[in-house]
Structure 1
Amino acid sequence: MIEIRIDDAAVRAKLTELMRRGMDLTPAMRKAAGIMADAVEENFDQEGRPKWPSLAAATIKARAKTGNWPGKILQRSGSLAASITRSSDAHQAMAGTNKVYAAIQHFGGKAGRGHKVTIPARPFMKLEEDDMAKIVKMFEEYLTK
């Protein structure tokens, strides 16, 4: 399973302050998980932020032959994008996928029979600075309730 984990000082500071006040973070964590999942969806929609590497010519040819081209990168069937889940409780917020092939698509590497095919990294399970800012702002608003 691939998960998004936030290790950001600003977010941790807000969480520490909320916990210090004894606040129930369940609603805020639910919103944070939603922001994370929305960010991943945006990565799929925009084909990366920044843009992912293009598909290999052989991949484009194979997809065209099966009627799956033109199309979006990492969305031949849509099952990877559809597999993104969110979960949360009072102490954590997560977005992730349970697709076995997600890691090779996200991190890149050697794949296929004999690991002869190089798949470039196309990081879809990531947050951009503006996504982090949304999470910080949401916790700030929750803190001032």
Structure 2
Amino acid sequence: MITIKIDSEQLQKELTALIQKAVDRRPLMKNIAGIMHNAVEENFAQEGRPKWVPLGQKTIIARQKKGYWPGQILQQTGRLAASITQYADNDQAVVGTNAVYAAIHQFGGKAGRGGKVNIPARPYLQLTDEDMEEILKAVKEYLKLE
């Protein structure tokens, strides 16, 4: 049997640093939460990635009467976009909102008195392939694998 023994102080330092980064992931998770938050902001700015279903004519007319149109699809007052928060700890990166009406816009469904209004899903808490690539790049950079 052939045995190779590596006695390298530099290698040991690098492995120790890698282990420490794997143990303390808070900086990485904070970075990932920031990337996800930016992605959500971009979803609002571009009105979906891919594009959201346009507003219905009745909604546009109602918004015009209130002075909110022309405008952006999910930004009548801007409260939903402004409610997006990010959180990170050692084990997770989270982006979300506590706005009561947020889920109906994310997933779609029936709303209004008697549930007579059909609101299409306009997923704003969504990551694109490019966003996922940016997260993967951040992980590789954090672990210095690139």
For normalisation by structure 1, the TM-score amounts to: 0.84
User: RMSD value over aligned CA atoms?
Assistant: 1.6
2:64 paired with 1:58: no
Q: 2 CA distance for matches of 1:28 and 1:34?
A: 10
- Equivalent position SS for 1:99: coil
Which one-letter code corresponds to 1:95 in the other structure? Answer: V
- After superposition, give the CA deviation of every residue in 1:89-122 in whole Å (9 maximum; x if it has no partner): 1111000000010000010010000000000000
Which residue does 1:69 correspond to in 2?
69
Q: How does 1:1-145 map to 2 (within 5 A)?
A: 22-144=22-144
C-alpha displacement at 1:23, in angstroms?
3.4
- Equivalent position SS for 1:27: helix
Which one-letter code corresponds to 2:123 in the other structure? Answer: P
Gaps of 5+ in 2: 1-17
Q: Do 1:107 and 1:123's aligned partners in 2 also have CA atoms closer than 8 Å? A: yes
Q: 2 CA distance for matches of 1:23 and 1:44?
A: 35
Structure number with greater CO (CA < 8 Å, separation at least 6) is 1
| Change in 2 beyond 3 A, CA 1:19/1:126 | farther
- After superposition, give the CA deviation of every residue in 1:55-107 in whole Å (9 maximum; x if it has no partner): 01000000001110000000000000000000001111000000010000010
Q: 2 CA distance for matches of 1:129 and 1:21?
A: 26
Which one-letter code corresponds to 1:136 in the other structure? Answer: L
| Aligned-pair identity (%) | 59
Higher-Rg member (1/2): 2
Which residue does 2:13 correspond to in 1?
none
Q: 2 CA distance for matches of 1:110 and 1:20?
A: 49
Q: 2 CA distance for matches of 1:48 and 1:83?
A: 17
Which residue does 1:3 correspond to in 2?
none
| Change in 2 beyond 3 A, CA 1:115/1:134 | same
> Any runs of at least 4 consecutive aligned residues in structure 1 with deviations exceeding 6 A, and if so which?
18-21
Which one-letter code corresponds to 1:63 in the other structure? Answer: R
Which one-letter code corresponds to 2:42 in the other structure? Answer: E
Count of residues in Structure 1 that have an aligned counterpart in Structure 2? 128
Gaps of 5+ in 1: 1-17
C-alpha displacement at 1:144, in angstroms?
1.0
For normalisation by structure 2, the TM-score amounts to: 0.84
